[in-house]
Each structure stands twice: as C-alpha cells, then as structure tokens.
Amino acid sequence: MARITAGIATSHVPAIGAALDNGRSTEPYWKPLFAGYEFSKQWIARQKPDVIVLIYNDHASAFSLDIVPTFAIGCAASFQPADEGWGPRPVPVVEGHPELASHIAQSVIQQDFDLTIINRMDVDHGLTVPMSLLFGQPERWPVRVIPLAVNVVLFPPPSGRRCFELGKAIHRAVETFDDDLNVQVWGTGGMSHQLQGPRAGLINKEWDNRWLDRLIDDPDEVARIPHIEYLREAGSEGVELVMWLIMRGALHPEVRTVHRFYHVPASNTAVGHVILENIT
Amino acid sequence: MALEKPYSDIPGTVIFDADQARKGYHLNQFCMSLMKADNRARFKRDERTYVDEWPMSEEQKQAVLARDFNRMIALGGNIYFLAKIFSTDGKSFQYTAATMTGMTQEDYAAMMLQGGRSPEGNRRVGETPAREGSDEEAQ
C-alpha cells in the first residue's frame, strides 16, 4: 500500500533558482538561505521518497488567461521546465507518476473535488525551485513528481478550508493505492510577500511565525482564516500560503516537526520552510 | 448585486480579480507571447509594431512602452504576466518592485535586508501608522 510519510512546506522564490543556477549560492546574501536547507537535503536523502505530490502554483507559464483551473493535477509521464521569459531553468525533466496521479484524480473527484486533468504541461519555478532546494543539482531528479497546480494568481484562490479538505481527500486517495510507495506531499509558495504596487516589499515576520505555529498545531483554525487576512497581513502574494494547507490536510492531525526555518529576505519574499513527519 | 470587495481599501495594492482580468485580458496575453524567444526578439526590434498586433487600448500600449508597471496593473495587468516584459528586458522582480514603490533599487534592497516593509500603517487606507511593535502589545 502507498502511504504518506511526511510533508514539506517551502517558499518557491524564482531568485533562489537563479542564484543556484548561476553559481551564487555561496555569496553572503544567499548563504544563510541555503544553509537553512542543509538539514533537509540530508533528511530527504535518508527518506528516499518514491513520489512527491507537489502542490504549487503556475505563474502565467502553463496557464495563460485562456484557461484558469482552480485545481489541476498533472497526469503526464514527464513535465518540461518552462521558459518563463529568460529560457528554461537548467534543471532535469520532471518525471511524473501517471498511475498514482490518475488514481488520485479519480479518487478525489469521487470525493467531490473536481480536479482538472492535465496531460501536457510545462512546470515553472513554483515547482522546480523547491526541487532544487531539497535535491540540489542532480543530473536526474531522484523521485517522481505529481504536480498539483492551484490557482492563486486570479483572485479568488480556493479557500483555506477547501485546500485543507482537499489534502484530506488526497490522503484517503493515496492510502487506497495498491503499490508500496513512500509518498510525500509538499506545499509551496509564501510566506509574506507583495510583488506589486507601492506596497511592494511587505513582510510580516510575526504573522508568518504565528501562522506557522498554528499550521502545525491547530490547522483547523488556520483553515478558517479568510483571504482578506492574508492580503492585509501577508501581502497580495502571501495568499499563496493556502497551498500549505493542502500539504497539512494530507498529514495526520498530530505531526512531528523535524525541521523549521525562516529567513528574510529572498529578493522580495519571506522564506519559510518546515518538515513535518506523520507519527506512526 | 455587485460582489463584495473587502480588499479595495488595502493601500498601494490592486487585487487581480475577475474585473481586472477582464480589463487586462489582451495586455496579459500579449505578455504571454513573450515566453517565446522569437517573439521576444521581434518585440525588442520594434516594440511599437509588436504591441500594435494586440487589441490592447492605446493607454495599455503606452504603459507597456513606458514600462510603467503601476499603470499596467491599474489597467488590468497582473504581475506574473508583466514579469514576461521585465524578464525580456533582463530585469529582476526586485528591480521592478522597486520601480513600483518609487524607491531606488538600492534603497528598496536595503529595506528588504532590514526585514522588509512593515505592515504597520499599511493595512488600510487612511489608518494612522502605529509605532513599531504596538500591534503585538495590543494582543
């Protein structure tokens, strides 16, 4: 049987990818950020997950304004890194897991979550930056990935409650897959940041850390936070944090925090990162 | 009945909602076209000719040519779409964010290194900026 063993949350700032791709990760500006992921790289090398269900948002790369799915699951065998305007990132092709992805799609649709099925999609920094942070720069990614794209660009994104419940549905779906797979669920994006307008640069360290405390210990309460609080407190792009609730919903109510990291800034953004293990 | 927009009083912020997306459809789709290297080259060669291929308003076209990102956002642009324009120019998110705040990139970068823009006084239009930390004390 497949089982979800752990969840990871991390920001997915594009400048982090650029720093790594351009060999600048040891510069004084970036060093403390990458240091926050050293434990995580060693941890995941021991964990050896077979599949990651990677919750992220597309940033006008695969989805233009022609089609804007609220939740879209990638069922393809592979996904190419997207050209976001400066050429694709020099990272490996992302290999999917079509069997488990299709199983999750069928299962969660029958649990009333109407996912859009995607069989061809390029994946942008929202997905590849977390991969780089956890796996570095290998020739091939050592894991298969099921991309699950959430609309957080065109307001309104799905509610925190909806995301949390989708996570629970994904948990039930994975646990009914027959193959013996070690599955992780990752939630990405955030934390506080605003990239646009005269209020750009907003960071709310206190709010971020309180939110993270509650995500771990009282996710039911965090799931009730309305969008307007994210927009006011964590900036217009901070609303991406609802994606972390999908990860949290996919884990057990009680989890063990094995790593937690917070850093300001990466370009315009507060970086948060946490590893949660299911207590078995 | 009009949809409720509780976010309309957030200072210096335009939320990219359905109304903005409708206004900015062609502007944002023009931005998407810059994801192709050939189109980027053509745009760089003659920007005016290239933007004229898109059914944008003249105001939107002028905002693009002037790289006035606040104006583009007011006219329905979304920052992740507009990113294709500044990426084509070889500019970063931080450079562009700085231009939208009216700060130099140097000052903006220094603000970020010092922990970013405080939410104090930045939650609602017209609110009195509170002293640093007073929000914490009130709770």
Domain assignment present for residue B53? The answer is yes
- ipTM of predicted complex: 0.94
The domain containing residue B73 runs over which residues? 15-90
Interchain contact B117–A (C-beta under 8 A): yes
Q: How far is A14 from chain B (nearest CA, A)?
A: 9
Domain assignment present for residue A53? The answer is yes
From chain B, the residues in CB contact with A62 under 8 A are none
Q: Which two tokens stand for residue A115?
A: 């996912």
Give the C-alpha separation, A96 to A201, whole Å: 35
Total of domains in chain A: 1
Sorting pLDDT into bands at 50, 70 and 90, what band is B2? confident
Domain assignment present for residue A280? The answer is no
Domain assignment present for residue B117? The answer is no
The domain containing residue A63 runs over which residues? 3-275
Pairing of strands A182-188, A51-56: parallel
pLDDT of residue B129: 60
From chain A, the residues in CB contact with B25 under 8 A are 65
DSSP output for B6-49:
GGGGSTT-----HHHHHHTHHHHHHHHHTTSHHHHHHHHH-HHH
Is the Cβ–Cβ distance between A170 and A245 less than 8 Å? Answer: no
Mean pLDDT estimate for chain A: 97
- Best of A65, A225, A239 to disrupt the B interface by mutation (most B CBs within 10 Å)? A65
Q: How far is B86 from chain A (nearest CA, A)?
A: 9
Interchain contact B69–A (C-beta under 8 A): yes
Nearest CA in chain A to B81: A60
For B56-95, give one letter per residue: b (16+ CB within 10 A) or e. Answer: beeebbebbeeeebbebbbbbbbbbbbbbbbbbbebbbbe
Q: How far is A197 from chain B (nearest CA, A)?
A: 5
Interchain contact B130–A (C-beta under 8 A): no
**Do B112 and A265 lie within an 8 Å CB cutoff?**
yes
Tell me which residues of A are annotated as active site.
Answer: 125, 193
How confident is the model over A199-209, as a mean pLDDT? 98
Q: Which two tokens stand for residue B138?
A: 């009130």
Nearest CA in chain A to B108: A201
**Do B84 and A84 lie within an 8 Å CB cutoff?**
yes
Interchain contact B18–A (C-beta under 8 A): yes
Question: Where residue B50 sits, what CATH number does that domain have?
Answer: 1.10.700.10
Domain assignment present for residue B85? The answer is yes
Total of domains in chain B: 1
Give the C-alpha separation, A153 to A17, whole Å: 20
Could you say which of B25, B31, B93 has the minimum Cβ distance to residue A195? Answer: B93
Give the C-alpha separation, A246 to A244, whole Å: 5
Domain assignment present for residue A180? The answer is yes
pLDDT of residue B5: 94
Domain assignment present for residue B109? The answer is no
User: What pTM, to 2 d.p., does this model score?
Assistant: 0.95
Sign of the CA dihedral with B119 first, then B125, B130, and B136 last: negative
Domain assignment present for residue A140? The answer is yes
Give the C-alpha separation, A216 to A72, whole Å: 26
Question: Where residue A145 sits, what CATH number does that domain have?
Answer: 3.40.830.10
Sorting pLDDT into bands at 50, 70 and 90, what band is B137? very low
Could you say which of B14, B100, B119 has the minimum Cβ distance to residue A204? Answer: B119
Q: How far is A37 from chain B (nearest CA, A)?
A: 20
Domain assignment present for residue B83? The answer is yes
Q: Is the pLDDT of residue B132 over 70?
A: no
- Best of B5, B9, B29, B35 to disrupt the A interface by mutation (most A CBs within 10 Å)? B35
pLDDT digits (tens, 9 = 90+) for B107-130: 999 999 999 999 999 999 988 665
Task: Quickly count: other Cβ atoms within 10 Å of residue B36's Cβ.
Answer: 13
Sorting pLDDT into bands at 50, 70 and 90, what band is B135? very low
Interchain contact B37–A (C-beta under 8 A): yes
pLDDT digits (tens, 9 = 90+) for A32-90: 999 999 999 999 999 999 999 999 999 999 999 999 999 999 999 999 999 887 789 99
pLDDT of residue B139: 35
Q: Which two tokens stand for residue B107?
A: 């000052």
